[in-house]
């Protein structure tokens, strides 16, 4: 078991104390390392008064629900599935930069309605301290529902989360981030169940090549852009593999496929937001 630093030991103890003070808690739980750590802490601090709840919709990648169920069983926390319906909301499917706000609003609306039946007073998310400095519209939705953020409140960074998860023997301690499939759709392109299925299946194809970290971004005109770590790009450029990918992506419904030479970048579609902001400031005469 990894040895925790005095600082991280203090944060761990504070995390357990804070969650114990909730009395009872539902954890918005995806099965990723952040929400898994909160689920583990809630189970340790609250026992039967804690429950993990996973939102299920077409934006959840294949295999993620099954993995989340298995991990909740390993943690020993009560687990519930919650069907969410964000794709029927035009504000969500329009895919503006605030898409995550509408997704989280749907999730927290349903979680808040479910809380009395679950017998819990509080709802907690896996937001860590680093998330507060990123572009995350979902945080506004969380604030409007009074969602607790125990990791951030205890000063736990992403690195801290992974270290503590390893100390608690959580198998997802080094799991790559896996945001919802809708995050792969370029802003302004409608989010539809069909496009989400195309992206999900395309990423499964890339991962089958032994490349676990990948993103397939959907762009206008059914164009797929593949992002993998730079050291894996050469694999995708091999003649036979590249030809096979082109053929398989075409069968999925993509008109063309490209490989991003910059490699994998988490949240790369947000780069266009920065450019848009700079252009808007230039036109309006605002600060550069």
Residue 272 confidence (pLDDT): 61
Q: Which residues of 140-158 are buried (b: 16+ CB within 10 A; e: fewer)?
A: ebbeeeebbbbbbebebbe
How far apart (Å, rounded) are the C-alpha atoms in residues 277 and 124?
32
| pLDDT, the chain, mean | 92
* Closest among 87, 50, 80 to 65, alpha carbons compared: 80
Give the rounded percent of residues in the chain with a pLDDT score beyond 90: 86
What's the mean pLDDT in 200-205? Answer: 98
How far apart (Å, rounded) are the C-alpha atoms in residues 262 and 259?
9
CA atoms within 13 A on the CB side of 130: 8
- Whether the pLDDT of residue 283 is over 50: the answer is no
What's the mean pLDDT in 50-76? Answer: 96
How far apart (Å, rounded) are the C-alpha atoms in residues 224 and 210?
19
What's the mean pLDDT in 73-80? Answer: 98
- Whether the pLDDT of residue 280 is over 50: the answer is no
Structure-token match 């301690």, residue found: 173
Residue 271 confidence (pLDDT): 67
pLDDT in tens, 119-155: 999 999 999 999 987 778 889 999 999 999 999 999 9
Give the rounded percent of residues in the chain with a pLDDT score beyond 70: 92
DSSP annotation of 87 reads G
How far apart (Å, rounded) are the C-alpha atoms in residues 132 and 136?
8
- At the topology level, CATH places domain 6-167 in Rossmann fold (3.40.50)
Residue 179 confidence (pLDDT): 87
- Whether the pLDDT of residue 201 is over 60: the answer is yes
Dump the DSSP string for 212-226.
-S-EEEEETTTEEEE
- Whether the pLDDT of residue 281 is over 50: the answer is no
CA atoms within 13 A on the CB side of 72: 23
How far apart (Å, rounded) are the C-alpha atoms in residues 272 and 267?
10
Residue 224 confidence (pLDDT): 98
128-132, 195-199, 274-278: least confidently modelled range: 274-278
Phi, psi of 51 (to 5 degrees): -145, 140
Q: Domain coordinates of the chain in residue numbers?
A: 6-167, 181-271
**92 to 85, 103, 215: CA distances (angstroms):** 10, 7, 21
- Whether the pLDDT of residue 54 is over 70: the answer is yes
What's the mean pLDDT in 258-273? Answer: 80
- Whether the pLDDT of residue 277 is over 60: the answer is no
- At the topology level, CATH places domain 181-271 in Alpha-Beta Plaits (3.30.70)
Residue 268 confidence (pLDDT): 63
Comparing 283 with 218, which gets the higher pLDDT? 218
Per-residue pLDDT band at 286 (split at 50, 70, 90): very low
Is residue 137 within 8 Å of residue 109, measured between CB atoms? no
What's the mean pLDDT in 44-61? Answer: 96
pLDDT in tens, 77-119: 999 999 999 999 999 999 999 999 999 999 999 999 999 999 9
Per-residue pLDDT band at 279 (split at 50, 70, 90): very low
Per-residue pLDDT band at 176 (split at 50, 70, 90): confident
CA 175 to chain centre: 12
């Amino acid at each position: 078991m990894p040895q925790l630093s005095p600082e991280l030991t203090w944060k761990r103890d504070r995390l357990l104390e804070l969650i114990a003070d909730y009395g009872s808690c539902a954890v918005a739980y995806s099965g990723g390392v952040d929400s898994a750590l909160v689920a583990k802490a809630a189970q340790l601090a609250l026992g039967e008064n804690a429950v993990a709840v996973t939102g299920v919709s077409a934006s959840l990648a294949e295999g993620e629900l099954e993995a989340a169920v298995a991990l909740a069983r390993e943690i020993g926390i009560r687990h519930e599935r919650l069907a969410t319906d964000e794709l029927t909301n035009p504000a969500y499917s329009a895919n503006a930069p605030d898409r995550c706000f509408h997704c989280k609003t749907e999730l927290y609306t349903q979680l808040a309605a479910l809380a009395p039946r679950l017998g819990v007073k509080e709802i907690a998310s896996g937001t860590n301290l680093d998330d507060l400095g990123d572009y995350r519209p979902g945080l506004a939705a969380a604030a409007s529902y009074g969602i607790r953020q125990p990791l951030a409140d205890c000063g736990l960074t992403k690195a801290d989360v992974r270290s503590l998860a390893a100390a608690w023997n959580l198998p997802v301690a080094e799991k790559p981030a896996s945001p919802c499939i809708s995050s792969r759709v370029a802003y302004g392109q409608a989010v539809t169940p069909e496009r989400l299925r195309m992206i999900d299946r395309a990423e499964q194809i890339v991962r089958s090549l032994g490349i676990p970290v990948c993103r397939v971004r959907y762009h206008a005109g059914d164009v797929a852009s593949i992002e993998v770590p730079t050291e894996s790009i050469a694999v995708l450029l091999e003649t036979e593999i590249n030809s096979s990918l082109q053929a398989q992506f075409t069968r999925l419904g993509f008109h063309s496929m490209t490989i991003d030479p910059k490699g994998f970048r988490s949240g790369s579609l947000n780069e266009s937001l920065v450019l848009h902001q700079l252009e808007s400031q230039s036109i309006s005469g605002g600060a550069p």
